[in-house]
Each structure stands twice: as C-alpha cells, then as structure tokens.
Amino acid sequence: MADNEPVPDAPPCRIACLIPSATAICIALGLSERIVGTTHECDRTTLPDSVRILTNDGLGAHELSQQEIHDQVAKQSQQQESISSSPWLYALVADEFQAAAPTVVLTQDLCKVCAPSSDSVKAILRLSTTSTEPDVVSLTPESINEIAESFCTVATACGVPERGQALRDDFLRHLKELQQAVEQSRDASRPQPRMFLLEWLDPPFDGGHWIPEMMEYAGVLAAAANVGKAKSTTKKSVVIPWTDVAQADADCLLVACCGFDLERNIQDTFNVRHRLEPLRAVQQGRLYASNGDAYFANPGPNLLIGSVIMALCAHEDQPQVTKAIMKLPFVPVDLRAWQKVNLLQNGPTLETKDPAELADIEDFYECHAKACQAGQKSYKDPTTGYNVFTELAHKDRGKCCGSGCRHCPYSHENVSDKTARIQQPAFLHVADDDSSSGIFAVRHGNVKVLFDSGGKDSFLTIRALARQAKKCPFGLVLLTTFDTTSRVIAHQDVSIDQVLRQAEHLGISLIAVPMHRGSSEGYVSRIRRALDVVEKRIALKISALVFGDLHLDNIRDWREDQLGPMGYELVYPLWKVDYQELAKDLEESKVPCVISATTHDGVAVGDVFDRSFMDRVAKLDVDLFGENGEFHSLAEVWRVDKDVALGC
C-alpha cells in the first residue's frame, strides 16, 4: 500500500505513535486521520495540525556533538529512568499524552535511548484519571521479516488487519524485486561491492539488526561482517574502532547516523574527516551520506528506500545497474535522499545526484556505439566531457598507435606495457610452440581456452589438462579478466602482472580481458570479444572453454546459461574431484599457493595453502578449498621448475 491518503472505513481508534517508524507505518496503512499524537522526531508533513507532540528532546541532542551525545547516553544509561526528569532522547510529556487520550499506543522496547519504553507509558497511565486504558503495543523487530510482520501487528491493533497484510506483502516483494534488478544487471565478472554503513561516527558504530539484510537486498556485502570481536555475539550495532573500519577495507562508505537527517550527517562527516580521509573508499571517491533517521534507523516501510539508496551508492560505477533500479515502479523519480561527499577538497564539496536522470544516463560504451552507428569519428565521454576517438577513427589510421586507446581495434599490438595500459582484450604473452610445455602448442590444433584466475584451482586445472595433453597434445590459451582501474583480478586480489608471470614461466599463451567500471557492456560481450581475438590470432576455431570449478552448481549453471549459447564445449576437469586428491596433486607439483584474499577471521593473507592449512580450517565453518568465497590464492609457479609444476 503506497497510498498515504486516509481511508474512509478506518475504525474510530485514536493512535499515539511514540516511535517514528510507527507513524510511518500508520501513514502507509491509510490511518493518518486516526493519529492523535507523535514524537517530536516524526515526519509530520502529511498529518493534521491538531496532532499533538507527545515527547521532547531529553538531551538536547541537536545542540551536541556526536561524542557528547554518546557520553551523555552512556552516563544516563547507568541511572534509573524517571518520568519527571527523564534523561532519554524521547522523554514523554505526560500532560500532552493524557490530553491526546489515545486508545492505541504504539511504542517499542528494543532501545531505551531511541523511544519511550512500554514501561514509561504504563507509568504515565498509572497517574491518569481516565477510566479506560489504551492498548499498548510494543514493536521490537530485529530483522526484515519481523519488521514486515510488525505492519500486520499495527494494522490488527488499529482494526484494519487486511491492510497490514497487503503492506507486508508489497514491502517484501519490492525488496526482492530490487535484489533481482541488481543481480540481473550487474557485471557478473566483478565481485559484489562491500559497503560499510556508519550508524554513528564519534565513536564509530556499524549498522546492526536489519542493516546487513538491507545490504543483501541491495546486492552488496557487509564489510563490517568480519571485523570486531563483538560481531560474532550480537546483531546490535556496536562500537567499531577506526582501525577495524580501515581493516574492513570497504569499497564504499555510507554515513547514515541514527536520529540525524542528510544535512546533519554531511556536517558530522566533515567533523571526522581526519579519520575518514585515509580510507580506500574515500580516496576513490566512494563516500556517501544519507538521512539515517528516515531510511535506516527506523524499522518501517521506508527501509525499502534505504535499500535502494544502498544499491545506488554501491553500484554507482555500473550505470546499467542504476538504470535498472530507477526503472522499478516503487522507486520515486524525485528521490534526493543521498549525496556523495568529497573530503579531499578544502571545503564541503558535495556532488548531488538527480535521480530523475539516473534512468537515462549513458555510459561511454553506449555513447561509442551510437557514435559508430552514426559514422562519427569521436564522441564526448559522459563522465569527463573529453572527446574520445571511436573505433572508426582508429581503423582509418590503419594500425595500433601504441597508446592503449579505449577503442583500439588492433588488440593493442603495438602497446609496450600491456598490463598497465590495455583497454581491450589483448595477448599479454604468446608462447613459443617449441617450449618445454609444447604439449599445449597451438600447432597441435584443437585449441582450448582456460578461464584462469591465477589461483590454486586454475593451476590444478592446468595440471589436469597437461595429463590429458600428454596422451593427445592440444593447444591451450589462458584467459584472465581484470579491472581496468585497479589492474587486479576480481575476488583474487591478484594483479594481472602476477598472472602474466605465471604464463611466461609455464610457457602458455595468455590473453587478458580488461573489464571497465564505467561501461554497461556485459561480461559475456567482453568474453566474446576476447575469443574473437584468440581465433583471429591462431587462425583456428576454439574447440572448448575450460573452467576450474569444483562443485558449485549455481556457478556452473550460470556458465552453461550465459556462455553455452556461444557454441563452444564447456569443460570442467576438476568437477566433483575429491579434495584430498586435489591436495595430493598440489603437493606433487611442489608449487606454493599463498592466500591472496580472505573474508574469514580464521584465514590470513600470506597463509600457505597446504595440508596443515586444510587441517586448521577444517575446524572452522569454512570450505576447505574456499569455494564459498572464504579465501582466494595465488599459485607461485615461478618458484618451481616448469616441467615439475606441469607434471611433465
């Protein structure tokens, strides 16, 4: 139910909303005309002027810094709450409450700081001279599903249960639609962005309770999930030292402090700029602020928009995702609830996004395609405003200029430092057919392409292919995708230079596929370009695409669905092979595999993947080969003779 207009058949109840989320729920249920009192923090823009304010700011929070508020709350939390001198942020005003004469009171017991508790309400009722007591409904949801069910709780208490069910169902359905829109439009070759939501800045608190679930619906990972000892014992928002915020190494930061609107959060962000400036996300321009009170802290219908804001911020560098989000029917076209904050300037320089334009924004891939269709030799880059040569202009030149141009049609054949400069799929290494790994020589024909990440699984796949090739030689080309900005392979935290070093040592050809953050060109399209380059170079048809997948059915299904239609055979040499057999094969190679990235506290970057490592992680909730993303590795093949490494 998105309609906020009052509904004529609403029962004649009188509702007191002692938490902002209750007010938002009642408005969404069409009960605006039944509300007789709210808190001083509630959004009252659509309510009648006669609605009473039933609370006041017990701390004067808006006049204090975040550190002062934190200190006051900590101090008062040690004392006994009293009605006459309530120290809480939401102190009940007894006279106004009695004058409002509610028949239904909506409050909570989740946090004594954030709203009057049910005990506070009952204490006031004991002083009341009226003969009838209202129904006191305490809302204490701690998850998205519990929040959705609270809509039904409120609706039932107010006599309109069917509206609560409709609001619940719409809320959950819209969240799922958001999740699907992000998943279907995002670049599948890139890792999910990791977001850190700061619910408080001084000291820093992470986002607890329902915030991680909101991130899941937004298509992002919670960067705070694996930092801080308290994360394993509580769902609540907890203090996270700045060292842990840095350790989380989030791709983007969102400041959405509890109780504060967008302007206050922007102001407070600058107050702790010395803490934020060193963080990678800030250095890369991925710091955002939003209205924490309206869209994140209060468990009501507006959390849907909070998830939308998360998704827009986290996927800002993928225009195709923002387009898909803004086309969802429940996303307001005038949504102006977040801003990018640039701390690296001398003053509070803000970049405001116009959501109405997000659905129509073009990226350079689209601009280039339109320019080529129109026969144009250049186009204006939508991000920088610079004029960029199209593929048509480069073809007129007739050769690669060696500059690493964005739309080079010659596979960057004249670029000297390819790992640092290529923008299109290009061979980084072409193996000598007479090398000692000649079992993979292209002259044998029957050329296969292995999707290579540089890790242990890819290396073990090469060894499995080598055993096959010793019986019947065939050609092999390694294919590796990497991010054009960081020059790092997704998930692995391994640079493209390291994979090139592997290919050169093993004597196997390598084609690299740069993935552009500012392009809506999909993963499959980029792979198709790369395979075309391979076939043109070897003058042969590729016979098979090879993958080092071990047992994840969803990954294999995705490959079959997306890459299968290209017409190549898809091969999985390690599929369902026993882990102990794989470990034995790795031992025989004598190649050390070092952990390059980890998302689990029990695994550290720099650990060596071996039997003792497997024995240790077997005691943790971790796949022994890290198949669920717990860790990734780099096979340092150059430390071993290549014939030994390959098993030749």
CATH number at residue 91: 3.40.50.1980
3-state secondary structure of 433: coil
The reply to whether 375 falls in a domain is no
Last residue of a domain, one of 136, 168, 200: 168
Q: Is 80 exceeded by the pLDDT of residue 1?
A: no
Residues 111 and 151 in one domain: yes
How far CA 313 is from CA of 77, 189, 224, 264, in Å, comes to: 35, 19, 17, 19
Taking the C-alpha atoms of residue 608 and residue 631, their distance in angstroms, rounded to an integer, is: 12
Task: Work out the pLDDT band at 437, boundaries 50, 70, 90.
Answer: low
- What is residue 443's predicted lDDT score, i.e. its pLDDT? 78
Mean local confidence (pLDDT), 128-141: 77
Q: Are 243 and 229 in contact (CB under 8 A)?
A: no
- Give the 3-state DSSP-derived string for 5-20, with helices as H, strands as E and coil as C: CCCCCCCCCCEEECCH
Assess whether 163 and 225 both reside in one domain: no
How far apart (Å, rounded) are the C-alpha atoms in residues 425 and 256? 40
Is residue 311 situated within a structural domain?
yes
User: Looking at 168, 201, 220, which one is the last position of a domain?
Assistant: 168
Q: 101: which strand partners?
A: none
Same domain, 162 and 209: no
- Residue 442 and residue 318 in one domain: no
The pLDDT-based confidence of 555 (bands split at 50, 70, 90) is: confident
Q: Is residue 178 part of a domain?
A: no
**Farthest-apart Cα atoms in the chain, separation:** 99
> For residue 448, which of 434, 429, 461 has the smallest C-alpha distance?
461
Report helix, strand or coil for 105. strand
Q: What DSSP element (H or E) covers 145?
A: helix 144-157
Specify the pairing of strand 448-451 against strand 476-483: parallel
Which sign does the torsion angle of CA 7, 12, 16, 19 carry? negative
Supply the pTM of this predicted model.
Answer: 0.61
Evaluate whether residue 248 is within a structural domain. yes
Tell me which H or E stretch contains 184: helix 161-185
Q: Average of pLDDT values for 590-594?
A: 96
Q: Of 168, 197, 215, which residue constitutes the final position of a domain? A: 168
What is the token pair recorded at 506? 């093993």
**Phi and psi at residue 476, to the nearest 5°:** -140, 135
CB atoms within 10 A of CB 8: 7
Residue 333: what pLDDT?
A: 67
C-alpha 495: how far from chain center: 22
What's the confidence (pLDDT) of residue 233?
Answer: 47
Identify the H or E element spanning 36. Answer: strand 35-38
CA 561 from chain centre, in angstroms, equals 24
Question: What confidence score (pLDDT) does residue 428 get?
Answer: 96
Better pLDDT: 320 or 57: 320
For residue 59, pLDDT over 70 is answered with: no
What's the rounded Cα separation, in Å, for the pair 613 and 624?
Answer: 9
Confirm if 636 and 593 have CB atoms less than 8 A apart: yes
CB 222 within 8 A of CB 195: yes
Domain contains 487: yes
- Do 619 and 484 lie in one domain? The reply is yes
The tokens of 303 are what?
């959390």
2-16, 200-214, 263-277, 469-483: the lowest-pLDDT one: 2-16
Neighbours of 475 (CB within 10 A): 25
Cα first-last separation, the chain: 67
Running DSSP on this structure, what letter comes out for residue 296?
A: I
Q: What is the CATH number of the domain that holds 444?
A: 3.40.50.620
How far apart are the C-alpha atoms of 437 and 167, rounded to whole Å? Answer: 64
pLDDT score of 334:
64
Q: 605 and 550 in one domain?
A: yes
User: Who wins on pLDDT, 294 or 109?
Assistant: 294
427 and 560 share a domain?
A: yes
Name the DSSP class of 297: I
For residues 393 and 378, is the Cβ–Cβ distance under 8 A?
A: yes
* Band of pLDDT at residue 436, cut at 50, 70 and 90: very low
Domain count across the chain: 3
Residues 231-284 have pLDDT tens digits of 444 577 788 889 889 988 999 999 999 888 888 888 889 888 888 988 989 888
Peptide bond into 203 cis (omega under 30): yes
340 pLDDT exceeds 90? no
Same domain, 497 and 618: yes
Say if 104 falls within a structural domain: yes
H helices of 227-363, in order, are: 242-248, 262-271, 273-276, 280-283, 292, 303-314, 319-326, 355-358
Lowest-pLDDT range of 106-120, 396-410, 411-425: 106-120
Q: Round to whole Å and give the CA distance between 223 and 206.
A: 10
Closest C-alpha among 451, 453, 593, 591 to residue 524: 451
Are 288 and 321 found together in one domain?
yes
DSSP label of 622: S
**Would you place residue 87 in the very low, low, confident or very high pLDDT band (cuts 50, 70, 90)?**
very low
Same domain, 329 and 458: no
pLDDT band for position 491 (cuts 50, 70, 90): confident
- pLDDT at residue 112, as a whole number: 56
Question: Residue 347 above 60 pLDDT?
Answer: no
Instruction: Please give the backbone phi and psi of residue 443, each rounded to the nearest 5 degrees, phi first.
Output: -60, -15
Number of Cβ within a 10 Å radius of residue 462: 27
Whether residues 268 and 407 share a domain: the answer is: no
| 180 located within any domain | no
Distance CA 260, CA 302 (A): 15
Q: Name the band, by pLDDT with cuts 50, 70 and 90, for residue 384.
A: low
Q: Which pLDDT score, from 0 to 100, does residue 354 have?
A: 53
The answer to which of 133-142, 338-347, 596-605 has the lowest mean pLDDT is 338-347
Tell me the average pLDDT across 450-477: 95
Tell whether 321 is covered by a domain.
yes
Beta strands in 175-255 (DSSP E): 194-201, 204-206, 221-222, 252-255
CA distance 247 to 89: 33
- Per residue in 521-547, pLDDT (tens digit) is 878 899 999 999 999 998 889 999 999
Tokens of 401: 């200029």
Q: Give the range of the structural domain holding residue 103, as residue numbers without chain letter.
A: 15-168
Dihedrals φ, ψ of 161, to 5°?
A: -60, -35
pLDDT digits (tens, 9 = 90+) for 359-382: 555 678 889 999 999 999 999 877
Specify whether 537 is located in the same domain as 616: yes
Share of the chain above pLDDT 90, in %: 49
pLDDT for position 81: 46
Cβ atoms within 10 Å of 10's Cβ, excluding its own: 19
